[in-house]
Amino acid sequence: MNDCRCGHLKVGKVTESRNWNPDCPEHGVGTDWYTSPEQVAKREADRARLLDLYAQARAARAAQRLEESET
């Protein structure tokens, strides 16, 4: 297929990475690519990483508030 609507990312130069488009006929929601075990696992790993980062940020804010209230 060559119907991809996902734009290439540019970080100083155009990279091979793409900005995922959920409406892309090749990579969008519901396609074989999107539902492949590799992509499902990648999305779950990304989700777990973000949840961990959120928890770390929440703990850091709580520690900062505690430190400020003790002074």
Q: Which DSSP letter does residue 38 get? A: H
- Cα 38 versus chain centre, distance: 14
CB 21 within 8 A of CB 3: no
Query: How many alpha carbons lie under 13 Å from residue 32 in its C-beta half-sphere?
Result: 2
Q: What is the pLDDT confidence band of residue 13, given thresholds at 50, 70 and 90?
A: confident
pLDDT, tens only, 40-62: 999 999 999 999 999 999 999 99
Mean pLDDT of the chain: 92
Can you give the pLDDT at residue 42?
A: 94
**Tokens 């520690």 identify what position?**
63
44: helix, strand or coil = helix
Mean pLDDT (whole number) for 19-25: 93
CB 4 within 8 A of CB 20: no
The percent of residues above 70 in pLDDT, for the chain, comes to 99
